[in-house]
Structure 1
Amino acid sequence: MTSPAVAAWADLITLAEQEQQALLAVLTRLVTDPRLEAQVAAALDYPGWPLPLTLLPHRAAHLTAGTPELATFASVSTAATTAVLTTLNRWGWPSPASCAASDAAWLLLQHADTETETRHDLLRDLARTWQHRGADPRQLALLTDRDRSLRGEEQLYGTFVLIRDDRPRFLYPIADINHIDDQRSRIGLPSLADDTPYAYCPITPYRQARSAPVNLWAPATSPAPQLRRTQQRTPQSLAGDATPRHGVYLAATLRDRDEIRRIRARLPPPLESTARWLDLDPLTRPSSQFDAGIVVNQLAAQLCIHDIARARLLLAYPLSRRSDGVTAEIGCALAYGKPVIIAKGSPRCSFDMLPSVTISDDIDSALTAAHHALTDHAT
């Protein structure tokens, strides 16, 4: 017979999955509705002191109620907040033997922004659990920084950080940058410099999104419990987007995003970029919420597939050594029958020998080749 505690943890895991699906639908709506996203951005103080979507009902109730995806997310988030607070108050923090339960508890508590006082009190329980090595220190650090940031205080651990042009950019101020590594080491976090290779997108310690290293702790490897599956909601389709006559999909890695943005600015008219992933930046847009983690990755994957499909050709300029994602995008373009241009000096791949793949001398030659390919074809 399943114990009440185990059943409660299973319910939280299911709620976390439901919340992620609702959030994906919201972010998909925002990225496909620029006017709505601008309204949400203004309500959430982007880009100055960006607030999470969980607070939108309190700052723009009319937007929330008038948008089905936002209304659904608000309803799911409210139910999840009640459930996680009730469960944690009754049973305490989950055992490290259940990584899925700990992740769900963290995610839902991280998003319990309408109950800041209760969450603040629960942080003490999590800190005690961490002292006995029963909690992920990154989850403790993120909860602490979120609690402080939403109170208008400075970050203690610097967990809300992104790398732009190889330099850290903090979404919120740091309490003491000169001693931040001391604070991090006290709870078993790597130094800020050690986290840098993983901070080109938000570091989120939740299930598949856990990619950064954490000292003195590792997720349990025991199989996840069997759960009753929830119905998956399909987010708003992206397939109806217009196909630009001279559309170019720009493929690169996240590490090279800033450089490829500069390449985008150099596209010779009438060429235009279809690569919307370049602008999925939590520093500036609520459609790429800084705490969305795996959901933003899902949204980016959807955008990539649709934007390759609506482009006329793909131009690849992967500067980083690891270019698995770029290779996958090239394969997707070839599957759609799109010509591919790869700048010379980029990592080589098995597609180089195909007749529909052109290897250019450099990025300038690649841009010229793209221009000729599209304008000559149009003529």
Structure 2
Amino acid sequence: MYEATNDSKKVKLSVAPMMEWTDRHCRAFHRQLSKNALLYTEMVTTGAVIHGDREHLLGFSDIEHPIACQLGGSDPKEMAEAARIVEGFGYDEVNINVGCPSDRVQSGRFGACLMQEPELVAACVAAMKTAVDIPVTVKCRIGVDDQDPEEALDRMADAVFAAQADALWVHARKAWLQGLSPKENRDIPPLDYDRVLRLKQRLPEKFIGLNGGLQSLDQAEPYLEHLDGLMFGRAAYHTPEILGEVDRRLYGGTAPDVSPWDAVKGHMSYLEDQLGKGVKLAHMTRHMLGLFHGRPGARSWRRILTVEAIRPGAGLEVVKKALSAVSPSNFEADAAE
């Protein structure tokens, strides 16, 4: 996945791990738009993986491949055990969270606070590499609090690559562990893409991926001239239509871009299957609200899914009604098939 080749399966774009957003239903939906983008789970802690309901935490559908699991933790032995469990579930990659700035992760000694302990992160990487055969990667910030980003990011990168990490995804902002909320930490610290570019210049043979503030493929794609991968977060979630261009533009696909209507049509069988298993429609359609962003009827699409999907017994008829609000002719053609 992370070899420096032109293989069409090489990672070029991923959708970032986002708490309460990138659950299995979100990933299944995103997969309708891109067959190649690497999809990440929400962060799960090592304690939950080792001692909790693993099927609930780690279960996913085969259609979600390629898929990576992000772990939160800092004990090398526990990280290795959790990585073995993740691999056993069939994940294509396991990733270490060194970027989340919330109070919860700080108190648990994982997330962004680990930017201050690169040797500990490296010990986790080494233990995990011994335990599993799938790629072990790290997602970090450029620094925290008063750290110098030049020194902090270099130390982290050197440590984890010495431990044989397969890739480093860099959110190109500092995190402030005191004084800013997790939400503010996603917006207020300034982006510094040049810092990530300098890291790649220094480590040309290593996989360095860029995360943070990327809004469109037009904006982001030029960075692939210098970096190895792009990681979209909120833009992919709020305006998922951009994922429909990924296979053609980044992976050399010859098929037409996936339209929002095609994505919904392709997703119907998944929705039907999950409804049959007792999953509430709203738990799945909440991830689809931004699909028609900027198109005529988008407000009606969101309103119908938001209001009607929560009703008891809501089924596919709600999605078809919402779809008719953005494209009556397309809906009628689907119904006739």
TM-score, normalized by length of structure 1?
0.30
Higher strand residue share: 2
TM-score, normalized by length of structure 2?
0.33
Structure whose alpha-carbon radius of gyration is higher:
1
